[in-house]
Amino acid sequence: MKSFEYSQLIKNLPEQFFATLSDRAAEAEAEGRDIINFGQGNPDQPTPEHIIRELQSAAEKTSNHKYAPFRGKHSAKQAVADFYKREYDVDLDPETEVALLFGAKAGLVELQQCLLNPGDGVLLPDPGYPDYLSGAALSQAEIHTMPLTRDKHFLPDYAQLSDEVKQHSKLAILNYPNNPTGALADQAFFNETIQLAHDFDIGIVHDFAYGAIGFDGERPISFLEHPEAKNVGVEMYTLSKTYNMAGWRVGFAVGNPSMIEAINIIQDHLYCSLFGAVQDAAVAALTGPQDEVDRLNEMYESRRNTLIKGLNDIGWEVEAPKGSFFAWFKVPEGYTSASFTDLLLKEADVLVAPGHGFGEYGEGYVRVGLLTDEERMKEAIERIKKLDVFS
């Protein structure tokens, strides 16, 4: 069979970190081992019933069997605008300030291709969601990292970036509640971000994938709540986490009209819009009852509390995340992220995500997902206890 040589663009793409992680779990399970998988970010709860019912009904409508409008149904974009007004008191024009996405991941990659030329600078968080790197690679941009460290509450310190780096950068990607650290951003940080954008003409992209998940009574704030935010950037939101719709592949970008138009232009060439029934289901999610969202947040907080208490009880000193459905733990003395991950998988049948997969500043940490029920969490804690690492 002839083997075709890949383009340099494909060769430059980074390894897909989560695919590798998934392969490790699959290999272990194929050996008949009972793996407790804390490694991935795949919601374990079902989509709320009223959303499923809307999809079922909408799928029977012959109007949805045709191509939907290229840039999405007005009803779906209006639902996004209504959602932002209700949740964040942000006014959006549904036609010029909303773009529907095939999942927020697509938008995060596409927008870099839309706004960055080869050699342009992009500011990315370190540690950060690995697929930010994919957009930079496809746009052939030069990456400048923003270290996220515990002493700075896992917020980038813009003062540590040189003026040369800031002047070279055309785009900055942020993510709060944060993956992988679970940190939250406050309004003071977004004030600094807006100032950075104005001073150095940098476009801001805020990945708000975990916007519905905040703990201890803290409500994650939207970047767009700042009155100047739409002037300098956009926010990406996904229904994957808020409504357990990860497999449905539906999200949206909101904010600066020129950025929204750029996304729409590239998607005009890549897609023919989302299946109309999925858009109708998204409307039901965004505008329907929100009690399941509240219940989900309470469940994640309960799981977080069980995990944090259990691990501290066995001697692993860990801190509680403030949001998202991830926890970010320092590995014990004498271990690297990789070696501790290997130990947990080989000796305890517990899979976590090694921190170095999220960037240089992720070394020395592992990421743990709150996506397993509390009984399995307790079992994982007992397995880890038996390793005598913390005795």
The domain that holds 239 is classified in CATH as: 3.40.640.10
What does the alpha-carbon distance between residue 118 and residue 139 come to, in Å, rounded to a whole number?
A: 6
Q: Report helix angle 132-139 to 104-115, nearest 10.
A: 30
Residue 209 belongs to a domain: yes
> Which residue segment(s) compose the domain that 104 sits in?
49-287
Predicted pLDDT at 362: 96
pLDDT of residue 64: 95
> What pLDDT, on the 0 to 100 scale, is given for residue 238?
97
Q: Which of 255, 253, 110 is nearest to 190 (CA)?
A: 255
Question: Is 196 within a domain?
Answer: yes
> Using one digit for the tens of pLDDT, what is the confidence trace for 189-199?
999 999 999 99
Do 12 and 124 sit in the same domain of this protein? Answer: no
203 with 175, same domain? Answer: yes
Positions of the chain with pLDDT lower than 70, given as ranges:
17-18
Is there a contact between 332 and 320 (Cβ–Cβ < 8 Å)? no
Are 231 and 311 in the same domain?
no
> Quick one: 192 and 73 in the same domain?
yes
- The rounded distance, in Å, linking the Cα atoms of 108 and 206 is 9
Residues 28 and 97 in one domain: no
269 and 378, same domain (yes or no): no
Q: What is the Cα–Cα distance from 303 to 375, expressed in whole angstroms?
A: 10
- Going from the C-alpha of 166 to that of each of 121, 123, 200, 202, the distances in angstroms are 8, 8, 6, 8
Q: Is position 1 within any domain? A: no
22 and 140 belong to one structural domain: no
Residues in contact with 37: Cβ distance below 8 Å, sequence separation at least 6, in sequence order:
25, 351, 369, 372
How much is the pLDDT for 33?
85
For the stretch 272-300, pLDDT in tens is 889 999 999 999 999 999 999 999 999 99
- One domain, residues 54 and 40: no
CA–CA dist 3, 1 (Å, integer): 6
Last residue in a domain, options 253, 287, 321: 287
Do 89 and 177 sit in the same domain of this protein? yes
Q: Flag whether 390 is in a domain.
A: no
Same domain, 55 and 149: yes
Last residue of a domain, one of 229, 259, 287: 287
Which of 260, 287, 314 finishes a domain? 287
Residue 240 within any structural domain of the chain: yes
Q: Answer yes or no: are the C-beta atoms of 100 and 79 closer than 8 Å.
A: no
3-state class (DSSP) for residue 100: strand
Per-state percent for the chain, helix, strand, coil, to nearest 5: 50, 15, 35
Whether 18 and 74 map to the same domain: the answer is no
Q: How many domains does the chain have?
A: 2
Question: Does 2 reside within a domain?
Answer: no
Same domain, 239 and 381: no
3-class secondary structure for 51-89? HHHHHHHHHCCHHHHCCCCCCCCHHHHHHHHHHHHHHHC
